[in-house]
Amino acid sequence: MPGDMPDFSRGAAYMNGTYVPMAEAKISVGDWGFIHSDVTYDVVHVWDGKFFRLEDHLDRFHRSLAGYRLSPPVSREEMREILARCVALSGLREAFVAMLSTRGVPRIYGSRRPEDCDNSFIAYACPWVDVIPKDVQERGAHLWIASIPRISPLSLDPTLKNYSWRDFVRGLFEAHDHGYDTAVLLDPEGYVTEGSGFNVFAVKGNVVMTPDRGALEGVTRRSVLDLCDELGLVGKIMPMRTEDLMEADEVFCSTTAGGVMPCARVGNATIGDNIMANDRPGPISVKLKEVYWRKHAEGWHATPVNYDDPEHPLLMQTTAA
């Protein structure tokens, strides 16, 4: 890099009003976001140099901020510009872009009053990541139904983004111990919820169903339901039991970090493996994935990044083509 210009090629972060390389982004060990998981966040992706559904992610982030009573010291407009500048500085054309707010470090040492903390705003852009690797998506993910129950929504609202992932991590260990790629969790009453960073769908005939409880209201989930209308499928948000997955024609997952991700197997230790037709992704899952990415290329819900001027990084020509 010329002169003293930092190397942002592996990602750029915004911390305390300053832009730093991703490797230099740190928070205090006294921050409640670290010691109490008192933090919220959201993640938007950039594909081919364009944010996808940026305003929808900002909407959800602000709902989470309100739900957790967090007030970061930046406006929505400033957040938008900070996120875009992180991308422009990194030069990444495909990126995973996060925004988060922590409770902060108490101004009075040892205080247990949330009001004694100054809330933060942190953002970063790093190279694209797939929740389920691309080669696994191609052959179809093997989805484990975990014995670990999802945290009750009476304790933690699943529609507000959070880092309280102990249930998900235990589910992932269980899935990997049994040779599966990832896991979906049931709630204490046995209803299907979600996986670690993704929503889950089941296809039966022309009906594409996704759980109505215990799950984040995913932006990619919304995109899938929009595509169902376009493709003549019936998208439903509804109660789902294990048998809805086990007896489905197809199963797939959706997330910002990966899009539409087909599955090929669903099973657990009690019910046993359900090997779908040919142990490969089904045709509706594959079609939804293809259309999802094709519409990206056409500029669907796109907000371009101006890489040539990091000081003014958003072109703000959002389209919903």
Domain carrying residue 179: 134-281
Residues 52 and 183 occupy one common structural domain = no
Residue 157 is predicted with a pLDDT of 95
> Is residue 145 included in any domain, yes or no?
yes
Q: How many whole angstroms separate alpha carbon 23 and alpha carbon 4? A: 16
Residues 230 and 259 occupy one common structural domain = yes
Q: 194 by DSSP, 3-state: which?
A: strand
Q: 263 by DSSP, 3-state: which?
A: strand
Write the CA distances from 120 to 15, 125, 137, 214, integer angstroms: 9, 17, 36, 28
Residues 53 and 157 occupy one common structural domain = no
Residue 269 is predicted with a pLDDT of 32
> In the chain, which stretches have pLDDT less than 70?
1-3, 268-278, 315-321
Would you list the DSSP string of 4-46? T----TT-EEEETTEEEEGGG----TT-HHHHS--EEEEEEEE
Residues 27-63: tens digit of each pLDDT: 999 999 999 999 999 999 999 999 999 999 999 999 9
How many residues appear in the chain? 321
Structural domain count of the chain: 2
Residues 255 and 151 occupy one common structural domain = yes
Residues 72 and 160 occupy one common structural domain = no
> Is residue 148 included in any domain, yes or no?
yes
Residues 139 and 258 occupy one common structural domain = yes
Residue 309 is predicted with a pLDDT of 78
111: domain CATH number is 3.30.470.10
> Is residue 286 included in any domain, yes or no?
no
Residues 207 and 112 occupy one common structural domain = no
> Is residue 1 included in any domain, yes or no?
no
Residues 167 and 254 occupy one common structural domain = yes
> Is residue 172 included in any domain, yes or no?
yes
**86 and 14 in contact (C-beta within 8 Å)?**
yes
> Is residue 294 included in any domain, yes or no?
no
Residue 308 is predicted with a pLDDT of 87
Residues 268 and 155 occupy one common structural domain = yes
Please, what is the end-to-end C-alpha distance for the chain in angstroms?
Answer: 38
> Is residue 225 included in any domain, yes or no?
yes
Residues 277-297: tens digit of each pLDDT: 457 889 999 999 999 999 999
242: domain CATH number is 3.20.10.10
Q: 70 by DSSP, 3-state: which?
A: coil
Residue 273 is predicted with a pLDDT of 43
Residues 146 and 195 occupy one common structural domain = yes
Residues 112 and 44 occupy one common structural domain = yes
> Is residue 226 included in any domain, yes or no?
yes
**Residue type present at position 239:** P
Q: How many whole angstroms separate alpha carbon 43 and alpha carbon 60? A: 10
Residues 226 and 167 occupy one common structural domain = yes
Nearest Cα residue to 276 out of 261, 263, 289: 263
